[in-house]
Amino acid sequence: MWWSETRTLNRRGFLGLAGALALAGCGFTPVYGPGGAGTALRNAVRVDDPVTRSDFQFLRAVEDILGPPTAPRYALAYTITTEEVGGGDVQDFGATRVQIFGTAAFTLTDTATGRTVAQGEVAGNTAYSTTGTQLASFTAAEDAEARLMRMLADSVVTRLYTEPGLTAE
């Protein structure tokens, strides 16, 4: 109960009640609740065709989250840019730590009307260590790239989930 035994206001109960009333008043809708954005986007987003390995990893990550498009209602166009920055240099060896910075600019369009539903840009970064063997370094770089694409896909989908007005019909 939000009143304590001594009839004084219980702070935790009061804050919980105030928070619930504030969410109810602002039009808050759970993402996966009835009519939420999660329901609207599930199996409904066709991601642009991949051109590079990074694009393919990004597309696969988005489809892992939203599901493959069975009846695409939206089209997701994107541009991914990455930059590698070496660090931790060892004399006569080179960088032993490489950081990858990435950005994904995106636009979600309603395929029926051609109206832009959402657009924006997200960023992320990851890193990997190089070793004395070329194969291990190459494998670490590929893994870091896959992690970065997953981060960018998670960020894009999260932004889409919070887009006002995006609801299931």
CATH for 141: 3.30.160.150
Instruction: Give a yes or no: residue 70 inside a domain.
Output: yes
For the chain, percent of residues with pLDDT exceeding 70: 69
**What sign does the CA torsion over 36, 39, 42, 43 have?**
negative
- pLDDT, tens digit (0-9, with 9 covering 90-100), for 24-76: 555 666 666 666 677 788 899 999 999 999 999 999 999 999 999 998 999 99
Mean pLDDT for the stretch of residues 121-135: 88
Q: 94: domain range?
A: 30-161
Mean pLDDT for the stretch of residues 101-130: 94
Instruction: Please enumerate in sequence order all residues whose Cβ is within 8 A of that of 70, keeping only pairs 6 or more positions apart, or say none.
Output: 43, 44
Instruction: Give a yes or no: residue 117 inside a domain.
Output: yes
Distance CA 86, CA 109 (A): 37
pTM, full prediction? 0.78
Instruction: Give a yes or no: residue 150 inside a domain.
Output: yes
Instruction: Give a yes or no: residue 93 inside a domain.
Output: yes
Question: Where does the pLDDT of residue 2 fall: very low under 50, low under 70, confident under 90, or very high at 90 and above?
Answer: very low
Q: How many domains does the chain have?
A: 1
pLDDT value, residue 21? 55
Whether the pLDDT of residue 145 is over 70: the answer is: yes
Contact yes or no for 37/167 (Cβ under 8 A): yes
Instruction: Give a yes or no: residue 12 inside a domain.
Output: no
Instruction: Give a yes or no: residue 10 inside a domain.
Output: no
Instruction: Give a yes or no: residue 56 inside a domain.
Output: yes
Instruction: Please enumerate in sequence order all residues whose Cβ is within 8 A of that of 78, keeping only pairs 6 or more positions apart, or say none.
Output: 47, 48, 55, 58, 104, 105, 106, 107, 156
Distance CA 160, CA 47 (A): 13
Instruction: Give a yes or no: residue 21 inside a domain.
Output: no
